């Protein structure tokens, strides 16, 4: 009996998350109430609060299904990693392909990148996104630093400049595709973008550290 109750609770929780994806994707994050989500899920408002403290908690659980974009895109290199750029490329291409083939991934990324209004009432949600962005930046920097250490990138690479360029490039392409998914094949364009960014890091003189003045 206890096991059945636990299974029912998990089923209810997932139904609420499914309803939240539907509502947030259709109406944005700030406007809908938890009551609207509860009605779509076929549960009471009290049932929603039985699983989630507030809308921010619900949003966080929703993003945990795929991790926030920054957290999905960047993972710290494994110890002794000899091919950090290869790891980065594999993760980014997987993400591009997964967004194309998975309706859930597409909708959650769309909510985070296009439907999450930066308004006062979304303060806790903004904080969650900001924390994810900061963690993603830290992990990306670690990968680039490791790539320099193992000789995949120049020793004089200006990492402080490179990291935000890479970060913005990948998230920007994802956001652009979400706005017009029929315009091009995200996986194919994404692979070309990644290779172009890697070539840019290796060869662009504009991404080198300034020469010391004498």
Residues 83-118: tens digit of each pLDDT: 999 988 988 898 899 999 999 889 988 988 888 776
- Residue 21 · residue 36 · CB < 8 Å: no
How many whole angstroms from its chain centre is CA 204? 27
pLDDT score, position 32: 85
What does residue 157 show for φ and ψ, rounded to 5 degrees?
-60, 135
Rounded distance between C-alpha atoms, residue 211 and residue 208, angstroms: 9
Low-confidence residues in the chain, pLDDT < 50: 70, 214
Question: Residue 144: its pLDDT value, please?
Answer: 94
**C-alpha to C-alpha distance for 69 and 33, rounded to whole angstroms:** 24
| The pLDDT of residue 30 | 84
Sign of CA dihedral 39, 45, 46, 49: positive
The pLDDT value given to residue 120 = 59
Q: What is the pLDDT of residue 214?
A: 45
DSSP reduced 3-state for 208: strand
What pLDDT, on the 0 to 100 scale, is given for residue 81? 74
Task: State CA 182 to chain mean position distance.
Answer: 21
Q: Name the phi and psi angles at 208, rounded to 5.
A: -100, 150
- pLDDT score at 181: 94
157 in helix, strand or coil?
strand
Dihedral (C-alpha) 106, 111, 114, 117: value to the nearest 10 degrees?
Answer: -170
What local confidence, expressed as pLDDT, does residue 158 receive? 97
């Amino acid at each position: 009996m206890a096991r059945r109750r636990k299974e029912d609770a998990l089923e209810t929780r997932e139904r609420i998350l499914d309803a939240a994806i539907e509502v947030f994707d259709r109406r944005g994050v700030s406007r809908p109430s938890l009551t609207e989500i509860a009605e779509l899920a076929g549960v009471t408002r009290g049932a929603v609060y039985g699983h989630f403290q507030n809308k921010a908690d619900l949003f966080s659980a929703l993003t945990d299904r795929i991790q926030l974009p920054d957290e999905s895109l960047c993972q710290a290199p494994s110890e002794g990693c000899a091919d950090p750029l290869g790891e980065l490329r594999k993760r980014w291409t997987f993400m591009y392909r997964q967004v194309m083939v998975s309706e859930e991934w597409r909708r959650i990324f769309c909510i985070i990148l296009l439907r999450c209004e930066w308004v006062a009432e979304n303060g806790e949600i903004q904080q969650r996104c900001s924390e994810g962005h900061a963690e993603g930046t830290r992990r990306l920097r670690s990968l680039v630093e490791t790539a320099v250490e193992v000789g995949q990138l120049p020793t004089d690479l200006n990492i402080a400049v490179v990291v935000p360029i890479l970060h913005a490039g990948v998230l920007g392409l994802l956001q652009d595709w979400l706005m017009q998914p029929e315009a091009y094949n995200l996986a194919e364009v994404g692979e070309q973008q990644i290779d172009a960014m890697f070539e840019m890091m290796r060869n662009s003189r504009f991404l080198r550290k300034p020469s010391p003045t004498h």
